[in-house]
């Protein structure tokens, strides 16, 4: 088992679920946790060496660039609908990232079979 892959998939899923948690209960603490976990996920993806590494990193950066401004908008302006819409964008980016990771896993399993 590749523990590096387990770790970055774990943080990718954790980022998606914490962002979904914010959508269920919108508050600044939930959004801060979602952004923090997503930043950790992004940092872990920097060292990934696989076929779709650039796409994985890009999708994680997109989620970062949605969650960090969403936190600022919610905290400093208090505009919950805007923060929620930015968080939805992060969820879409995280779903895309998970889909890429699943595709990459399927491709690596195909190579192991030969």
- 27-34, long-range: CB within 8 Å, 24+ apart, which pairs? 28/71, 28/74, 28/75, 31/67, 31/70, 31/71, 31/74, 31/83, 31/87, 32/71, 34/67, 34/87, 34/90
Summarize pLDDT for 61-92 with one digit per residue, the tens.
999 999 999 999 999 999 999 999 999 999 99
- Could you give the CA distance from residue 94 to residue 12 in angstroms, rounded to a whole number? 7
Distance between CA 21 and CA 27 in Å, rounded? 10
Give the pTM.
0.91
In Å, how far are 2, 30, 94, 114 from 13, measured between CA atoms?
Answer: 17, 15, 8, 29
Q: Which CATH number fits domain 3-113: 3.30.70, 3.90.550, 1.20.120, 2.40.128?
A: 1.20.120
The tens digit of pLDDT for each residue in 31-67 reads 999 999 999 999 998 877 888 899 999 999 999 999 9
């Amino acid at each position: 088992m590749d523990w590096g892959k387990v770790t970055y998939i774990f943080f990718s899923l954790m980022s998606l679920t914490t962002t979904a948690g914010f959508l269920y209960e919108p508050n600044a603490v939930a959004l801060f946790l979602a952004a923090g976990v997503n930043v950790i996920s992004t940092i872990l993806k920097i060292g990934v060496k696989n076929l779709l590494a650039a796409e994985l990193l890009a999708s994680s950066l997109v989620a970062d660039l949605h969650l960090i401004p969403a936190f600022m908008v919610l905290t400093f302006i208090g505009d919950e609908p805007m923060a929620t819409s930015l968080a939805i964008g992060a969820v879409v980016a995280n779903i895309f990232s998970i889909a890429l990771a699943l595709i990459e896993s399927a491709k690596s399993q195909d190579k192991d079979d030969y």
